[in-house]
Amino acid sequence: MVFFLFITRKSLDECIVHAKVPLLDNPDASFYFYEQYAISQLNKLEDSIWERWTRKKHHDKSIRRSIDGNSRTSPQKDTFDGSRQDINAAIDQICEFTGTKIIFWDLREPFIDNLYKPSVSQSRLEAMIDPLDTVLNQLCDIIVEPLRDRIVTGLLQASLDGLLRVILDGGPSRVFSIGDAKLLEEDLEVLKEFFISGGDGLPRGVVENQVARVRLVIKLHGYETRELIEDLKSASGLEMQGSKSKLGADTKTLLRILCHRSDSEASQFLKKQYKIPKSVA
Question: For residue 214, what pLDDT is reported?
Answer: 98
User: Residue 136 in contact with residue 168, Cβ under 8 Å?
Assistant: no
Closest to 219 in 3D by CA, of 188, 173, 262 = 188
What is each CA distance from 48 to 40, 41, 43, 226, in whole angstroms?
A: 12, 10, 9, 69
Question: For residue 226, what pLDDT is reported?
Answer: 96
Give the three-class secondary structure for 176. strand
DSSP code at position 76: P
3-state secondary structure 238-279: HHHCCCCCCCCCCHHHHHHHHHCECCHHHHHHHHHHHCCCCC
Total length of the chain? 281
Per DSSP, what are the bridge partners of residue 261?
Answer: 176
Question: For residue 235, what pLDDT is reported?
Answer: 82
* String of DSSP letters for 122-159: TS-GGGGHHHHHHHHHHHHHHS-GGGHHHHHHHHHHHH
Can you tell me the distance from the alpha carbon of 244 to that of 233, in angstroms, rounded to the nearest whole number?
A: 12
Q: Phi first, then psi: give them for residue 169, nearest 5 degrees.
A: -130, 40
What is each CA distance from 278 to 9, 14, 203, 260, 270, in whole angstroms?
A: 63, 63, 43, 10, 8
Closest to 34 in 3D by CA, of 43, 44, 25, 23 = 23
Question: For residue 222, what pLDDT is reported?
Answer: 96
pLDDT tens per residue, the chain (281 residues)? Answer: 333 333 333 443 444 334 343 333 445 555 555 555 565 666 666 666 666 667 666 655 554 555 554 444 445 556 667 777 877 787 888 889 999 999 999 999 999 999 999 999 999 999 999 999 999 998 888 877 878 899 999 999 999 999 999 999 999 899 999 999 999 999 999 999 999 998 899 999 999 999 999 999 999 999 999 999 999 988 876 666 656 678 888 899 999 999 999 899 999 999 998 887 755 55
Amino acid at 230: E
* String of DSSP letters for 35-65: HHHHHHHHHHHHHHHHHHHHHHHTT-HHHHH
Per-residue exposure over 247-275, b if at least 16 CB sit within 10 Å of its own CB, e if not: bebebebbbbbbbbbeeeebbebbeeeee
